[in-house]
Copies of this chain bind each other. A is one copy, B any other.
Amino acid sequence: MSNTRAIRLGSPEEYTQLLDQYDTWMFDCDGVLWQGERLIPGATEVLRMLREKRKKVIFVTNNATKSRKNYKVKFDQLGVEAHVDEIYGSAYATAVYISSVLKLPKDNKVYVIGQSGLEDELRDEGISFLGGTDPQDCTTTTPFSLSSFTPDPSVAAVICGLDTSITYTKLSKAFKYLTLNPACHFIATNQDSTYPSADGLLPGAGAISAPLRYALGKDPLVVGKPAKTMLDCIKAKVHFDPKRTIMVGDRLNTDILFGQAGGLATLLVLTGITLESEISGPNPSPIVPDYITNSIGDFLVAA
């Protein structure tokens, strides 16, 4: 299929054809299945239909503040069927990357800029860590000093996700670990510039790693969409045929790019970040999905 122009789904036959064509359906969540606390109309029914048709359903989210178990609670609260092993969050994928790809020795530690969901996933993978929600690192002190800080020589990686308790202490300790030991790995859960919160758009995980990128003059290895690391993590855990897999998302530069980089088909929905004007306006995005539909609920016509 050519990627120069997206197919806008319309007739029931087109939706039915897509359902026939793809066995594995990967979904971004916020902006696709729900918007904040509000379900997208029809999302539950479409997911149920996919399960009835024996499709494999996988949820792929860049949210690194939640563990898969935290995320499952969100699905439960909204009444959407999901199983922990179908959920791939960037916190989980980061922990899997460290344990399965980097294979850090068990007596090594990672220094964490991030929240409890990320810590939970590290713990589940048996990875020791410092920083994170440690009150000492989450508290701002004036005047600032690192004089009581002795770098732990077993720290072999710094990981950085969204952290609403970011402090200069955390940034400085992370900077020290990365400069004192040039072999120390620098890993970002994801690079989203913003994320949709109850307070509207706010700076995302990419903004939290930005100070280190700038101070070090060096980019981190990125785990979350659109990076391939996330797909490698899914591949390591579940079998799917990329040719018969479709990625459904609301964001061109994360979801759609992620699907394209992995050789998957891509479907853009317009219930989230991307606006109609970014596709069909005078300056359309160079990232062109294979298919476009207004909402995931549109698939109900194929039921």
Contact = CB atoms under 8 A, between A and B. Distances in A.
Interface string A188-229: 000001100111111110111011111101000000000000
B193 A172 contact: no
A166 B165 contact: no
Chain A residues touching B, range: 35 or more
A145, A179, A194, A207 — most chain B CB neighbours (10 Å): A207
**How many chain copies?**
2
A193 B175 contact: no
Given A147-B198, A193-B217, A206-B214, A142 B168 contact: no
Contacts of A167: 140, 166-167
B199 A207 contact: no
Contacts of A212: 203, 207
B199 A145 contact: yes
A70 interface: no
10 contacts: A140-B140, A140-B164, A144-B165, A146-B202, A164-B168, A166-B167, A172-B199, A193-B217, A208-B211, A210-B213
Given A142-B165, A204-B215, 6 more contacts: A147-B198, A166-B167, A171-B203, A175-B203, A203-B212, A207-B214
